[in-house]
Structure 1
Amino acid sequence: MSTGAVRARRLASLLLGVAGTTALAWLFGSLEPRWVSVVWVSLVPWLLVLNRISSWREAVLAGVALSLAFTSALFGWFPAAIQSYSQAPLAVCWLALWVLAPFMEFQFITFALVRYHLQRTTQAGPWAFWRITLTGALVYVGTEWLCPKLFAETLGHGLYASELLRQGADIAGAHGLTFVVLIANECVLAAGKALVAHGPREGSRRALAPLAVLAAILLGGLGYGQLRYQQVAEAKASRPDLVVGVVQANITKYEKLAAEMGMYDVVRMILDTHYRLSDELLQNRKLDLLVWPETVYPTTFGTPKSEAGAEFDAEISGYVSRSQVPLLFGTYDLEQEREYNAAMFVGPGRDGTLTRSAYRKTMLFPLTEWVPEAIDSPWLRERLPWTGYWKRGPGPQTLSMQLREGRTLTIAPLICYESIFPGYVAEEARRGAEFIVTLSNDSWFSGTPAPKLHLMHAAFRSIETRLPQVRVTNSGISALISPTGEVLTAVPDDQRGSMAVTVPQTPHLSTLMVAWGDWPGPTALVLSVVLLLGPSLLARRKERQAESPHPLPGA
């Protein structure tokens, strides 16, 4: 067979393996329970490819190919969303996604390279498989932490569809689940290879160890999930449950509406719609708190920029005074010409006056909300007029709210993008938050899988902290999420609706994620370096000791 034919065959094998893993990832990426078991075999086609590569260039090619295919399959909706936001040509948006794909999924490249290196350098023996498997999994998780992604996705999110297996996220987050998923896939491949290579009898004996580890992972995950699920269900708090009003008006694309109607009429329509939906809730339930979504009031509150703005500010305050129900809503906050995306709380005080406090968003989406000062310039603004002007807030904060009847409530506030950062939410939980409130605006991604994926991220934050969560969005998906990550009730994407949800007040259940924060990533990175460099350093030390002359007796 000619050299060209051999290369073509190897390339075809590589592409087939990439296609197999991508297809399986697309299935469990739907987050449907019927596909959750696919997670445990999803990487096997690609791992087969990695077993056959013969150079570091092939390893890089295998990683880049999977990053491109994976990104295209799971985030193929993103270019159209960016086109809608920036008005750039769709082809340019797709090109940008493909250019970024190897950097957003850099863990595929490092994993492939490390696995190739270890297969060549690890001496054959009973522990060779486990050294390669554990080191590769640690490198994968460590790379994901070291190279943050726009969407913070990881393989462990595929277990969200299992109400028991996802409970392990309170130990090590979704990245901890990714680690066990990688180990499980390697075990499946090792068992399959043993059976194929050695036949039923000898192959079964050789497959026993990886199958035992696989069984331990599955049974341990299910058992732990059942235990934690039961603990959450049995936990009772002395505090009464909260009744929270959620309003999703499904009014989107403010800039387009302002161009057609004028900004004053747009704000007028937004507020009137939210007043009406809120009044419907107040007529049927006694609410402890009313929540409107991110940037629902698309101007500064408390520091008006015009007379009309001052009138709207007074109107919102008057609504809170008349209803006597505290209001948390998304707006802009201004301080010394620095503008922030903020969650504003306005509530009736004990002396009849209104109290007010604000939380400023810290984790801003790159370019669309925030431009780093190092690259901000008139040249950039001229060529990318859609870039944002907001400044970053001070970091994780809790917000104390004075409710009716003198009760004080401490919440972990999050605005949109912040809900994808485990360590950020864990810090707020450590500060005594009783539950999470997320204000979001996913309208640019309405009609795509993005709202569902964003909701899944939010659910993981509740599992990791064991705090209930109220999530309120402009266009969906607004939801009440339990401490086990279950969506108890929701207003679907691209619909108008309001609901009064009862938030269960449970005692604080300790979790490792709250105690240690987002620990899996840095821990995996350090351990992977130790496992990669440790054996060679130890071997060199032994060589130096062997080469050094022995001291004479009595010297």
Structure 2
Amino acid sequence: MKLRSIILSIISGIILWLSWPTMPFTPLIFIALTPLFYLTEKIRHRGAYFGLIFLSFLIWNVGSTWWVGNTPVPASGVFANSFNAFLMTIPWLMYKNSRKRLSAAGSYLALIVYWLTFEYIHQTWELSWPWLVLGNAFAMHPGWIQWYEFTGASGGTVWVLLTNILFYAAWKQVRMYDYNFRETIVKTGWKPLLIAVVPILLSQFIHPVPDNPAKKFEVVVVQPNVDPYDEKYADGNSMNQVHKLLRLTASKTDSNTRYIVWPETALFPQAAWETQLNYTPEILAIREFLHQFPKAKIITGALTMRAYAADDPEAVTARVMSDGTRWDAFNSAIQIDTSTAVEVYHKYELVPGVELIPYVRYLSFMQSLALDMGGITGSYGRAPARELLTNPADSINVFPTICYESVFSNYVASHTRAGANFLVIITNDGWWGNTEGHRQHLQYARIRAIETRRWIARSANTGISAVVDPSGNVYQPQPYWKEAAFKATVTSREDYTFYVKYGDLISRGAIIFCILLLVHAIFSRFIPGIKNVENNQ
């Protein structure tokens, strides 16, 4: 393996890292993959090729998401970054193999198809980690990606891959014909430049439907700044945290407030039974406070438990009490008002290894290995509860996205399609410390706002709490590691974007083409005379 190949692999990984939120070099994403195309052409040995591609993606993963190991078990971060880098090499190995059967253009198309399929699978299986979806690269520049309301982040992935392909093809022609600068632009350089610039220009002409002034309402967002490692789960500290939340809430709440948003797991750090929520000291204290503001509702994170009846469907995450009762623990969002009705939503997109042991139904002996990140060990339950939190009096339906769920384009869009006209993100990013993790997480909320054209109120335990408008603009971001509360005016919206209405058509199309490519690859092995075109590319 030549030193030059290793250097090119390292350069690609560094450029990917430098172009990722929240680094300031986003345009580099348009050339970040070009060294890998060169390596694909020049490296013949499969093992060496795998090692070079893996090294590049490992650098990207470690540089951008090293903070995932900032937990009581740092080895989890090492595994997460390494495993994700390994998965990223698979589309490229398939792309290299396709070069033996397809033309240059055909193999480039195959790479786009394989990568889109990989990203789609990475949002749907239990080892999900869509944090590094290529389309997320533009999160800090919502003015570039207003067209995501049609394509979702998958459109950004195609944009990145296609521009890299065209830049690499242009570079090859320059080397082949020894063009000067003017010839480079006139003969070939205009193509990648056009593809890089046109979507940005189109975004200037795409705007959300204006808000309906009659649908405006006031929200109060609270950032309590409770240390998730020491303070949050200390015995006997639950009511102290409620009093702190109520004190901050009272500083901004008035008769116009319709929603008060508290962060993930703000209530019941040791968990509470869902059938007994109305009788807990925490809920009683909250209701007493809300009697001053009877039109307001509090949406908050909570750890809850549910016992299953004998005839309930079997849950693979269920635990069993000594009396044989099956039960589950949930990372939940609950809505509280002055009535006795407590609406409960269960988090579904759980963090692998932290909240969910992937495919525990086949690996039940690993249940005890889940990290204790909320006072309860083992996998959280995924039993369905409410999809939306409702407010019929004001015609508002809220989707309370819990932490990691806000990274899933399709998941958020599906709940918007189900009727959500206002989005809330409740999260506890304090686990990661003062790293890029909480800053990246805020930026991704801007993409969800554009895809769905919904207002988002974001309450983060230690920050960054903020409000995001349907164009992806961030308002009132609160400093990290500071307690805060603020009020904002938002709007419930009834319009559906193309992406919300029809879903991720790009990824669906990619899956169909991926199946066709795989079928072609299988049959070509048994058809004599298939031309090996790799040497001609």
Asked if these proteins are the same fold (TM beyond 0.5), I'd say yes
Q: Residue 203 of structure 1: CA displacement? A: 9.9
| Residues 244-259 of structure 1 mapped to structure 2, 5 A cutoff | 244-253=219-228, 258-259=233-234
Contact conserved, 1:396 with 1:425, CA < 8 A, in 2?
no
Contact conserved, 2:468 with 2:475, CA < 8 A, in 1?
yes
| Residues 330-341 of structure 1 mapped to structure 2, 5 A cutoff | 330-336=301-307, 337-341=327-331
CA RMSD of aligned residues (A): 3.1
Partner of 2:157: 178
Determine the C-alpha separation between the residues in 2 that align with 1:29 and 1:395: 35
Q: Residue 170 of structure 1: CA displacement? A: 2.1
SS at match of 1:485: coil
Distance 1:141 1:107, change over 3 A: farther
Determine the C-alpha separation between the residues in 2 that align with 1:221 and 1:21: 24
Moved more, 521-530 or 240-249: 521-530
SS at match of 2:263: coil
Matched, 1:476 2:476: no
Q: Residue 434 of structure 1: CA displacement? A: 1.0
Work out the number of aligned pairs and report it: 500
Distance 1:199 1:541, change over 3 A: same
Determine the C-alpha separation between the residues in 1 that align with 2:31 and 2:301: 43
Matched, 1:368 2:354: yes
Aligned partner of 1:223 among 201, 208, 211: 201
Determine the C-alpha separation between the residues in 2 that align with 1:54 and 1:476: 48
Distance 1:358 1:530, change over 3 A: same
Determine the C-alpha separation between the residues in 2 that align with 1:46 and 1:392: 39
Aligned partner of 1:114 among 94, 99, 112: 94
Determine the C-alpha separation between the residues in 2 that align with 1:381 and 1:531: 41
Moved more, 379-388 or 266-275: 379-388
Matched, 1:239 2:229: no
1:350-372 Cα deviation digits (max 9, x unpaired)? xxx44431212111222322345
Give the number of the structure whose alpha-carbon radius of gyration is greater. 1
Partner of 2:288: 318
What percentage of aligned pairs have identical amino acids? 21
* TM-score, normalised relative to structure 1: 0.81
Partner of 1:300: 272
Determine the C-alpha separation between the residues in 1 that align with 2:485 and 2:507: 39
Determine the C-alpha separation between the residues in 2 that align with 1:506 and 1:93: 40
Q: Residue 377 of structure 1: CA displacement? A: 5.0
Moved more, 513-522 or 474-483: 513-522
Determine the C-alpha separation between the residues in 2 that align with 1:317 and 1:424: 32
Determine the C-alpha separation between the residues in 2 that align with 1:53 and 1:217: 28
Determine the C-alpha separation between the residues in 2 that align with 1:383 and 1:535: 39
What amino acid does structure 2 have at the position aligned with 1:333? T
Partner of 1:197: 176
What amino acid does structure 2 have at the position aligned with 1:441? N
Partner of 1:125: none
Partner of 2:322: none
Partner of 2:246: 275
* TM-score, normalised relative to structure 2: 0.84
Aligned partner of 2:117 among 119, 142, 152: 142
Aligned partner of 2:8 among 11, 14, 17: 17
Determine the C-alpha separation between the residues in 1 that align with 2:45 and 2:203: 42
Unaligned ranges ≥5, structure 2: 308-326, 531-537
| Residues 156-555 of structure 1 mapped to structure 2, 5 A cutoff | 156-200=135-179, 204=183, 211-228=189-206, 231-232=207-208, 235-237=210-212, 239-253=214-228, 258-259=233-234, 263-264=235-236, 266-282=237-253, 286-298=256-268, 299-300=271-272, 303-304=275-276, 310-324=280-294, 325-336=296-307, 337-348=327-338, 353-371=339-357, 373-374=360-361, 377=364, 380-381=367-368, 387-394=377-384, 397-402=387-392, 406-511=393-498, 513-531=499-517, 533-534=519-520
Aligned partner of 1:26 among 17, 31, 40: 17
Unaligned ranges ≥5, structure 1: 1-6, 123-127, 545-555
Q: Residue 280 of structure 1: CA displacement? A: 0.6
Determine the C-alpha separation between the residues in 1 that align with 2:216 and 2:111: 46
Q: Residue 446 of structure 1: CA displacement? A: 2.5
Moved more, 18-27 or 327-336: 327-336
Contact conserved, 1:241 with 1:502, CA < 8 A, in 2?
yes
Matched, 1:96 2:79: yes
Contact conserved, 1:59 with 1:109, CA < 8 A, in 2?
no
1:119-158 Cα deviation digits (max 9, x unpaired)? 3444xxxxx3322222212111112222444253122211
Contact conserved, 1:411 with 1:434, CA < 8 A, in 2?
yes
1:280-328 Cα deviation digits (max 9, x unpaired)? 1026x731211111110123275449x9x73333212212223322211
Distance 1:143 1:282, change over 3 A: closer
Contact conserved, 1:243 with 1:502, CA < 8 A, in 2?
yes
Determine the C-alpha separation between the residues in 2 that align with 1:224 and 1:37: 17
Partner of 1:551: none
1:379-410 Cα deviation digits (max 9, x unpaired)? 752796664352114278122124xxx42311
SS at match of 1:362: coil
Determine the C-alpha separation between the residues in 1 that align with 2:384 and 2:233: 31
Of structures 1 and 2, the one scoring higher in RCO (CA 8 A, sep 6+) is: 2
SS at match of 1:414: strand
Moved more, 16-25 or 92-101: 92-101
Distance 1:376 1:492, change over 3 A: farther
Contact conserved, 2:370 with 2:378, CA < 8 A, in 1?
no
What amino acid does structure 2 have at the position aligned with 1:411? V
SS at match of 2:211: coil
Q: Residue 278 of structure 1: CA displacement? A: 0.8
Partner of 1:65: 55
Contact conserved, 1:446 with 1:475, CA < 8 A, in 2?
no
What amino acid does structure 1 have at the position aligned with 2:300? F
